[in-house]
A = this chain, B = another copy of it.
Amino acid sequence: MVEISTTVGRLKLQNPTMLASGILGDSGDSLLRVARSGAGAVVTKSIGREPREGNPSPSLVELEHGLLNGIGLANPGIDNYRAEVEVALQGDVPVIGSVFAEDVEFYGPLARTMEVYGVQALELNLSCPHAEGLEEIAGDADLISQVTAEVKSAVKVPVFVKLSPNVRDIALLAQAAEEAGGDGIIAINTVKAMSILPEVAKPVLGQTMGGLSGPAIKPVGVRCVYQIYEAVDIPLVGVGGVANGLDAVEYIMAGARAVQIGSGIHYRGLEVFEAVCREIEAFMEEHGYRRLEEMVGIAHE
């Protein structure tokens, strides 16, 4: 028997799979369902100060090698979200509250409210490529450090910082988050992208540009995790294109202690969490690993 439980700092997970933010995460019922499908933790939709309707549709389309979304952080707003967290908490796995704001100063209060709602950790979305305001924070080490520090002083639960790949040097930004007290790094958010439908000569997304997720971005995510692992000591969570156990192992060997799954649900259904766990176990058994931890970062050796 192999052991796939893991820890991300103070957060203990029965298995290394988490639901990625923004997928099915606006309703507590859906989060609960994902938890019961076998995810080791669930991350909420990124919640902001006010309800937000998001971008015009189409806002999520399937491309040949991934998904393209321009949802634009549609969310019910923090005040309407208490009930959802309460339902999600019935799932008996950690609920991680994701928050975003257009202004640095709003992160602290949002995070504090999430903590009050009962989440076991926070994820700071500093990285959505198709929501105004956020792109600026995403590439700026000073702003990242400021946000992280403010949230750290506002809450007691672990604070994870989610980074964007649409930057020149992601490792530098991870260092900024670490120095400001961040308890972990989540990488990556979607890759800025777009698609045009030639027959109608128009961009496909209502908002023109959006974020690419799914299999196409896995090599980018693995590269980011690998780079960040060499730059910081805090734990990492890999995200981007995980759909099977080997994808997860790739991230883990690059340095991640857990992975998040978003688009993978499209490719394999909600069973993806269970399936990925079984596939990681099978891999470990075949290759003589006993604890997941033994694999973390070994591609660096």
Residues of B near A287 (CB, < 8 A) are: 198-199
Residues of B near A196 (CB, < 8 A) are: 222, 226, 250, 253-254, 299
Known: A194-B222, A196-B222, A222-B194. A299 touches B209 (CB 8 A): no
A223 proximal to B (CB < 8 A)? yes
Interface band, chain A? 35 or more
A65 and B221 CA atoms in complex are apart in Å by 14
What number of copies of this chain does the assembly contain?
A: 2
Binding stretch for chain B, among A50-58, A174-182, A212-220? A212-220
Q: When the two chains form the complex, which single residue of B169, B209, B219 contacts A66, counting CB atoms closer than 8 Å? A: B219
Binding stretch for chain B, among A30-38, A77-85, A200-208, A258-266? A200-208
Residues of B near A193 (CB, < 8 A) are: 219-220, 222-223
Known: A202-B299, A283-B198. A216 touches B66 (CB 8 A): yes
Known: A194-B223, A216-B216. A201 touches B298 (CB 8 A): yes
Known: A196-B250, A196-B254. A212 touches B202 (CB 8 A): no
Cβ A219 vs Cβ B68 within 8 A: yes
A192 proximal to B (CB < 8 A)? yes
Can you show 12 pairs from A to B with CB atoms below 8 A apart?
A: A139-B168, A192-B220, A193-B222, A194-B222, A194-B254, A195-B219, A196-B253, A196-B299, A198-B249, A198-B283, A209-B227, A212-B219
